[in-house]
Amino acid sequence: MALTPPAEVLLPRSSAAALDAAARTDPALHEPSLRAAFEACRLLHAEHGKTYYLATLLLPPAKRPYVWALYGFARYADEFVDSLTDPDPDALVEWSEGFLKALEADGPTDPVGRAMAATMRRWDIPRAHVEAFLDSMRMDITETGYATYEDLRRYVYGSAAVIGLQMLPVLEPVAPGAEGPAQALGEAFQLSNFIRDVGEDLDRGRVYLPAEDLDAFGVSRADLLAARAAGTTPPAVRELLAFETARTRELYAQAQPGLAMVHPTSRDCLRTAYELYGGILGAVEDAGFDVIGRRVAVGVPRRLAVAVPGLVRARLARVREARWQRLPG
């Protein structure tokens, strides 16, 4: 997991342009090693969060580095416990405690921590949101399942809802009450992943489907493991996943009003992420909920069909914003 980019690094032109734009209001981003730290986060984002990364390209360049940092931090922490090949939960505890202590002193020294601390400072992201996220990551060390939906939501608050709250300042809310939809959207994204990745999570020894739901559909953890071994999804499990999908769509409905509550130059990014993550549920449905033995995905044509029109709208929004700022008085 070590990320140690050199202090001097030749950044891709697009990265350099985004960091230059951000540095106009955040002079710290002129510092070469900090720029390299943000680039390390961008690489994590581009490799592991392709859907979300595509959506962030619709943001104004000056905002993109901070989203790289938020995603990179979350992914870096998550990999300590979610890696299928080299999990290291003790390292998660050490790294997360070190990060929080460093915030009170001279600041983190590892690249991901430095970029995250700079993002927290620039957008006034509360430490409590980061602590809640790290608490949920540590829960993955010992917790392998959740008895009720409310138990799962308490975990998801830290693992995903607070990510929505961390993102909100960067997206710049323009209406009161944006926090609720932001939390709902983060939660919906996470639950979409749980539904799609139920087979992979079984390989990690975890079940993110509430035990009370399994009981309601006559499914046991042993049934899920047998289905994973067989590479097929039996009817009862498909009915269970259909139920979870319908409930997650309700969260997307709760989040939908929030799409209009952020700055006009952020809306197309948020809308694109909303549609693409919602498309994960569509892909699960198109597969007949047969996802235990395989990983479904939103295809490239669908991603482009959503992202390209959004890119055009986003550029027009930035043009309108620039013209408005040039108006006298």
Same domain, yes or no: 223 and 306: yes
Same domain, yes or no: 128 and 195: no
CATH number of the domain residue 231 falls in: 1.10.600.10
Choose one of 93, 126, 142: the last residue of a domain.
Answer: 142
**pLDDT at position 259, please?**
96
Amino acid code (one letter) for 302: R
Cα–Cα distance measured from residue 108 to residue 111, given in angstroms and rounded to the nearest whole number: 8
**pLDDT at position 257, please?**
97
Cα–Cα distance measured from residue 155 to residue 51, given in angstroms and rounded to the nearest whole number: 23
Is residue 329 in some structural domain? no
108-137 per-residue burial string, b: 16 or more CB within 10 A, e: under 16: bebbbbbbbbbbbebbebeeebbebbbebb
Select from 192, 201, 199 the least CA-distant residue to 237.
199
Select from 232, 82, 86, 195 the least CA-distant residue to 144.
82
Is residue 60 in some structural domain? yes
**pLDDT at position 8, please?**
44
- The domain tally of the chain equals 2
Same domain, yes or no: 19 and 133: yes
Instruction: Give 183-230 pLDDT, tens digit per residue.
Output: 999 999 999 999 999 999 999 999 999 999 999 999 999 999 999 999
Residue 5 contacts residue 111 (beta carbons within 8 Å): yes
Q: How far is CA 29 from the centre of its chain?
A: 23
Select from 139, 40, 157, 4 the least CA-distant residue to 82.
139
Select from 146, 129, 270 the least CA-distant residue to 207.
146
Same domain, yes or no: 110 and 227: no
Choose one of 142, 160, 190: the last residue of a domain.
Answer: 142
Same domain, yes or no: 122 and 246: no
Select from 52, 55, 15, 45 the least CA-distant residue to 309.
55
Is residue 154 in some structural domain? no
Range of the domain at 189: 181-289+298-317
Is residue 250 in some structural domain? yes
Select from 112, 160, 152 the least CA-distant residue to 132.
160
Same domain, yes or no: 252 and 202: yes
Is residue 3 in some structural domain? no
Is residue 278 in some structural domain? yes
**pLDDT at position 328, please?**
54
Same domain, yes or no: 312 and 193: yes
Is residue 117 in some structural domain? yes
Cα–Cα distance measured from residue 33 to residue 56, given in angstroms and rounded to the nearest whole number: 23
Same domain, yes or no: 73 and 125: yes
Select from 272, 276, 283 the least CA-distant residue to 313.
272
3-state class (DSSP) for residue 146: coil
Same domain, yes or no: 40 and 91: yes
Per-block average pLDDT, block size 10, for the chain (329 residues)?
49 91 96 95 91 87 96 94 84 96 93 97 97 96 96 97 97 96 97 96 96 98 97 96 98 97 93 92 96 85 64 60 54
Same domain, yes or no: 31 and 133: yes
Choose one of 142, 163, 198: the last residue of a domain.
Answer: 142
**pLDDT at position 7, please?**
41
Is residue 69 in some structural domain? yes
Same domain, yes or no: 132 and 199: no
The answer for residues whose C-beta is within 8 angstroms of residue 266's C-beta and 6 or more apart is 59, 60, 63, 170, 171, 172
Same domain, yes or no: 206 and 80: no
